[in-house]
Structure 1
Amino acid sequence: MQERRRTPRRRSYIGATIVFNNRCSTIDCLIRDMSDGGARLIFSDTINAPEQFDLVINKMGETRRVQMAWRQADQAGVTFLKQSAVELAAQEHARRLREVEADRTALRARVTELLGRE
């Protein structure tokens, strides 16, 4: 069988979440292989997802807009859609905000610990 992908795929085992319906609906999945252009997703059961949705890649702290390329019973192939500069900036801002909030929580716990020792 001839490979039709423009970029080589890499095997992976990364948890992800499909988000759609104005962020009201989610489906957990597993990314089994990924390339710069798309990914193959595995589900625990057959799913009913729209043709386009957001894919939240948990390990990377990244959200990508994707288009369904194909689907079979418990798996699907998706193509990553190009993101605008505004979307990329918003994602980076959200990622940095999560980091700062985690730092703040850790510092607050440390201050509480130090004050409790006196």
Structure 2
Amino acid sequence: MLDRRSTFRSRVYYGGSVAFNERRSKLDCTIRNYSDRGALVDLGNVDLLAGEFDLTIPHKGLAFRARLIWRRSGRAGFAFRDHRSVPTQMTLNWALRVRAMERANKALTRRVEQLSCER
């Protein structure tokens, strides 16, 4: 089979998810090879996908807007519409740290205002 890709794809075994239907539907998937421009993905029901959708790879902390290039026997080839990636949802640990820093920031801001008024 002729490989028409413009970039090399690394063989990987990442868990991921595909969100489609305006993010109302989601399928778990396995990413089998990956590059900054696309991926080969194993899905249970490839026939549900059409057009564009969101592919999330938690292991890499990335999410891409992707489009379907081909599908066959539970596998699909995706091309990333936008090569830039965005971070996925933050972990609970990071969310707690951010919240604690926001509280500390507010307390410091109040203290600065308090000291400014005393002058």
Runs of 4+ aligned residues of structure 1 deviating over 3 Å after TM superposition are 44-47, 94-99, 102-105
Separation in 1 of the partners of 2:16 and 2:51? 17
Structure 2 equivalent of residue 100 of structure 1: 94
Separation in 1 of the partners of 2:70 and 2:43? 14
Q: 1:99 and 1:7, CA in 2 relative to 1: closer, same or farther beyond 3 A? A: farther
Structure 2 equivalent of residue 31 of structure 1: 31
Separation in 2 of the partners of 1:53 and 1:70? 14
Native 8 Å contact 2:37 2:83 kept in 1: no
Partner-residue secondary structure (3-state), 2:94:
helix
Unaligned 5+ runs, structure 2: 100-119
| Backbone CA RMSD of aligned residues | 3.0
User: Taking structure 2 as the reference length, what is the TM-score of the superposition?
Assistant: 0.69
Q: Give the deviation of 1:103 after TM superposition.
A: 3.7
Number of corresponding residues: 101
Structure 1 equivalent of residue 82 of structure 2: 82
Are 2:58 and 1:64 aligned? no
Q: Give the deviation of 1:20 after TM superposition.
A: 1.2
Partner-residue secondary structure (3-state), 1:4:
coil
Q: Give the deviation of 1:43 after TM superposition.
A: 1.6
Larger Rg: 2
Unaligned 5+ runs, structure 1: 106-118
- Identity in percent: 31
